[in-house]
Amino acid sequence: MTGKLRADARRNRERILAAAEAVFAEHGASASTEEVAARAEVAIGTVFRHFPTKNDLLGATLKRLLDRLAEEAAVLSDEGDPATALFTFFAQVVEEAAARRTVAELLAGGGVDVRVGKPLRRLEEPLATLLTRAQQAGTVREDVRLDEVMALLAGTTQAALLTGWTPDLRDRTLRIIFDGCRPGR
């Protein structure tokens, strides 16, 4: 898909996406496209050649983030301990959200009219696997379903943006959620 681009075009596309990620992480999705262009050291027209609309840019940035997360989930699926991989992944996503505002904003629908539907679905599959494994390992109740896990993930991800968020608070918050997922009581 991006393989047909000329070398410099692909390079610019990458620069723009990286810049977008940084800018949106810092100032949220309402940051200006112009700032993204500046950070990428590219003219404004170049941004619009690659992403005809600000929404397209946001969408691509989100897709990139989710792809990265999905990959991490897949790795955990393959190599991690089934009993804890779901929790590990959950914690990882929350951790990243604390660092990058966009993750949280977009996981939660973001106010912006990004059709998150599609990209978010990328996360569902690996997450479903992790959930099933955890249930088979007996660390998560049988009746827990994928959608509430995603809802809790989206929610905690937002919480991670709160002003008082610290590693300690994070641990205590996650503990409640993880405990709530465990069987027996």
Partner DNA sequence: TATGAATGAGCTTTCATTCAT
Partner DNA sequence: TATGAATGAAAGCTCATTCAT
C-beta of residue 160 within 8 angstroms of C-beta of residue 100: no
Provide the CA 101 distance to its chain's centre, in angstroms.
Answer: 10
Q: Please choose which of a copy of itself, DNA, none residue 99 contacts, taking the beta carbon within 5 to 8 angstroms, the exact cut-off set by kind.
A: none
Q: Please choose which of DNA, a copy of itself, none residue 154 contacts, taking the beta carbon within 5 to 8 angstroms, the exact cut-off set by kind.
A: a copy of itself
Query: Considering only residues 29, 62, 70, 85, which one is a binding residue for a copy of itself as defined by CB under 8 A?
Result: 29
Site for a copy of itself in 83-122 (CB under 8 A): 105, 108-109, 111, 116-117
Query: Considering only residues 11, 26, 30, 43, which one is a binding residue for a copy of itself as defined by CB under 8 A?
Result: 30
- Does residue 81 interact with a copy of itself by CB under 8 A? no
128 contacts: CB under 8 Å, gap ≥ 6: 146
**Shortest CB 60 distance to a copy of itself, Å:** 20
Q: Which amino acid is residue 45, in one-letter code? A: G
Q: What is the DSSP string of 57-99?
A: HHHHHHHHHHHHHHHHHHHHHHHS-HHHHHHHHHHHHHHHHHH
Q: Please choose which of a copy of itself, DNA, none residue 80 contacts, taking the beta carbon within 5 to 8 angstroms, the exact cut-off set by kind.
A: none
Number of residues that bind a copy of itself (CB under 8 A): 41
- Does residue 44 interact with a copy of itself by CB under 8 A? no
Provide the CA 185 distance to its chain's centre, in angstroms.
Answer: 31
- Does residue 167 interact with a copy of itself by CB under 8 A? no
Q: What is the Cβ-side half-sphere exposure of residue 134, based on CA atoms within 13 angstroms?
A: 27
Q: Which residue has the tokens 């990058």?
A: 100
Sign of CA dihedral 45, 113, 144, 91: positive
Applying CB under 8 A, the residues found at the interface with a copy of itself are: 28-30, 105, 108-109, 111, 116-117, 143-145, 147-148, 150-152, 154-159, 161-165, 169, 172-173, 175-182, 184-185
